[in-house]
Chain A
Amino acid sequence: MATKTLALLLTVVGLAFGGIREGCAADPKSPELVHTALRILASVYADMDAKLKNQQFDRLPHENQEFQDGSGAMLDAIAGDPADFKATVQASLEMTRSAAQHVADLSKSRDAAQVKSAIDALAASMRTLNGLFPEALRAEPGSLPAPKHGGPATP
Chain B
Amino acid sequence: MLTSLLMLPVGFVGYQVFAASVLVPDVELSVATDGDLLAFKPTTLVCPSGAHVSLTFFHTGKYIRQEHDWVLTVPGQAAAVAKTGLKAGERAGYLRPGDRRVLAATRLCGKGEQVSVQFTAPSPGSYPFMCSYPGHGEFMRGVLNVTP
A→B interface (CB under 8 Å): 36, 39-40, 43-44, 46-47, 50-51, 54, 56, 59, 65-66, 69-70, 72-73, 144, 147-155
Contact = CB atoms under 8 A, between A and B. Distances in A.
B121 interface: no
Nearest to B66: A66
B108 to A, nearest CB: 14
B104 interface: no
Contacts, number: 77
Q: Is the interface of A mostly helix, strand, loop or mixed?
A: helix
B35 A155 contact: no
Interface stretch (B1-9, B50-58, B74-82, B92-100): B74-82
List 7 A-B pairs, minimum CB-CB distance, nearest first. A151-B79, A147-B138, A154-B128, A155-B75, A69-B64, A152-B78, A152-B141
A61 to B, nearest CB: 13
A151 B143 contact: no
B138 A50 contact: yes
Interface stretch (B14-22, B24-32, B129-137): B129-137
B63 A73 contact: yes
B62 interface: yes
A65 B82 CA distance: 22
A153 B138 CA distance: 9
Contacts of B139: 43, 46-47, 144, 147
B36 A154 contact: no
Given A39-B37, A151-B79, A155-B75, A59 B134 contact: yes
B115 interface: no
12 contacts: A40-B36, A40-B64, A44-B64, A47-B136, A66-B64, A69-B66, A73-B62, A150-B79, A151-B80, A152-B137, A154-B142, A155-B127
B65 interface: yes
Contacts of B62: 73
